């Protein structure tokens, strides 16, 4: 959820960074709904569906990883190594820092004993917690999405190798749906600390259910790099932004209707909401991102502005901090007003990004990167 540096001469696309900031702010207002259920029921219900900004991150990640890191000629061993270093430097340093602070406070306040603290700490900093319903909401809670992203980061190099294969993306999606189904069937009957404990959990909270979102981004990247062609999209590209926004509005209306009809706060508590979130939202997002890549618009210009890009760069810090102990301190010592908290959180996150996240990431890359070898992976591997 932060700016990626383009590699192999590919240009930086600022609108995607600005869009990440906008989506992170939407998730903030999902967690801290600013409206009253009694006074503004419609707006309250709408904002309660803003978890659906998460698919934006997954689609963007699919695009960014393939666009920035895919190389037709293959990778040397050092380049593979550098890819994983860049992923580690992006995700783990501040995740470890924030979880260390969080569990230190928990231990100090006797929330967990020593053994439980160590166990939960290790599950959180390794992101394994994302597979266990029993531990899912421990530590820095929003980091469950990092568990999903990390699986994709690990699998992306395999897709680099086989991306030219016919129907590879469809096969990739179906394979992980099948794997998720089989593993969940096993662990429903052989319980293990909530590991893939239900089909709903697997579908919504793990990569097995979210694979289509990443694949939509990959397909967009392959189109943008002229590796795939879609003549229909080329014909209607001027209309893809309104198509995306209209579809998005329709899907939010559906989620609100499901929420009311089934008497649940969030539509993703029932299967209809999960299917809309995981399968239809990525389609709307695809159209919007396609427009940003191929057409100029007021929305694209706004998201590409210097301030939105600057805010977008600090999105990952904002995302991890916005429900953490930092939020508790802001509400305790500054204000409980949601909009004041929002502004303060943006400022704190930007400072944290500049003083902690960015310097550590640069330091790790500088120290750990290896000079790429001139030899590439054999062409037979890329076939």
Tokens representing 235 are 């014909």
| 9 — pLDDT class (breaks 50, 70, 90) | low
Tokens representing 206 are 């793990």
Q: Per-residue pLDDT tens for 88-143?
A: 999 999 999 999 999 999 999 999 999 999 999 999 999 999 999 999 999 999 99
Q: What are residue 276's phi and psi, to 5 degrees?
A: -65, -45
Note the pLDDT of residue 2: 41
Contacts 24+ apart (CB under 8 A), 106-112: none
Nearest-angstrom CA–CA distance, 163 and 167? 9
Residue 378 has pLDDT above 60, yes or no: no
Residue 343 has pLDDT above 50, yes or no: yes
Tokens representing 239 are 């209309």
Give the residues across from 132 on adjacent strands. Answer: 195
Note the pLDDT of residue 372: 67
pTM of the model: 0.92
Domain boundaries of the chain, sorted by first residue: 14-382
Nearest-angstrom CA–CA distance, 143 and 304? 26
Residue 305 has pLDDT above 60, yes or no: yes
Note the pLDDT of residue 75: 81
Nearest-angstrom CA–CA distance, 49 and 125? 28
Residue 352 has pLDDT above 50, yes or no: yes
Of 51-60, 81-90, 158-167, 174-183, minimum mean pLDDT range: 158-167
Note the pLDDT of residue 161: 83
Nearest-angstrom CA–CA distance, 72 and 349? 37
Nearest-angstrom CA–CA distance, 135 and 138? 6
Q: Per-residue pLDDT tens for 361-376?
A: 999 999 999 986 544 4
Q: 189: buried, middle or exposed (CB in 10 Å: 19+, 13-18, 0-12)?
A: exposed
Q: What is the average per-residue pLDDT within 218-238? A: 94
Percent of the chain with pLDDT over 70: 95
Residues 87, 153 contacting (CB under 8 angstroms) = yes
Q: What is the average per-residue pLDDT within 16-28? A: 97
Q: State the chain's mean pLDDT as an integer.
A: 92
Q: Which residues contact 32 (CB under 8 A, 6 or more apart)?
A: 338, 341, 342
Nearest-angstrom CA–CA distance, 256 and 128? 32
Higher-scoring residue by pLDDT: 333, 161: 333
Residue 315 has pLDDT above 60, yes or no: yes
Q: What is the average per-residue pLDDT within 337-359? A: 97
């Amino acid at each position: 959820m932060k700016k990626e540096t383009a590699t192999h001469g590919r240009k930086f696309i600022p609108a995607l960074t600005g869009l990440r900031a906008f989506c992170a702010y939407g998730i903030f207002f999902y967690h801290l709904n600013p409206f009253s259920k009694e006074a503004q029921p419609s707006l309250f219900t709408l904002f309660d569906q803003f978890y659906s900004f998460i698919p934006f991150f997954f689609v963007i990640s699919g695009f960014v990883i393939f666009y920035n890191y895919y190389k037709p000629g293959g990778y040397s061993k050092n380049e593979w190594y550098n890819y994983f270093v860049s992923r580690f430097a992006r995700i783990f340093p501040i995740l470890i820092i924030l979880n260390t602070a969080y569990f230190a406070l928990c231990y100090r306040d006797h929330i967990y004993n020593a053994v439980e603290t160590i166990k939960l700490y290790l599950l959180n900093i390794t992101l394994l917690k994302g597979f266990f319903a029993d531990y899912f909401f421990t530590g820095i809670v929003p980091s469950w999405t990092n568990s999903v992203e990390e699986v994709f980061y690990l699998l992306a190099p395999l897709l680099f190798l086989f991306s030219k294969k016919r129907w590879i993306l469809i096969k990739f999606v179906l394979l992980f749906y099948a794997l998720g189904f089989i593993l969940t069937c096993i662990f429903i009957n052989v319980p293990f600390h909530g590991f893939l404990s239900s089909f709903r959990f697997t579908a919504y909270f793990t990569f097995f259910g979210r694979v289509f979102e990443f694949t939509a981004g990959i397909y967009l990247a392959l189109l943008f790099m002229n590796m795939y062609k879609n003549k229909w999209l080329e014909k209607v590209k001027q209309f893809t932004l309104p198509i995306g926004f209209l579809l998005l509005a329709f899907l939010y209306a559906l989620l609100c209707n499901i929420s009311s009809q089934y008497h649940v706060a969030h539509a993703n508590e029932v299967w209809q909401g999960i299917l809309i979130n995981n399968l239809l939202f990525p389609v709307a997002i695809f159209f919007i991102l396609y427009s940003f890549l191929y057409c100029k618009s007021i929305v694209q210009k706004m998201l590409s502005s210097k301030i939105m890009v600057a805010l977008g760069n600090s999105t990952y810090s904002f995302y991890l901090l916005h429900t953490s102990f930092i939020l508790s301190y802001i509400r305790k010592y500054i204000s409980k007003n949601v909009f004041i908290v929002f502004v303060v959180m943006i400022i704190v996150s930007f400072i944290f990004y500049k003083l902690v996240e960015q310097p550590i990431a640069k330091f790790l890359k500088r120290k750990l990167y290896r000079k790429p070898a001139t030899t590439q992976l054999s062409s037979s591997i890329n076939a």
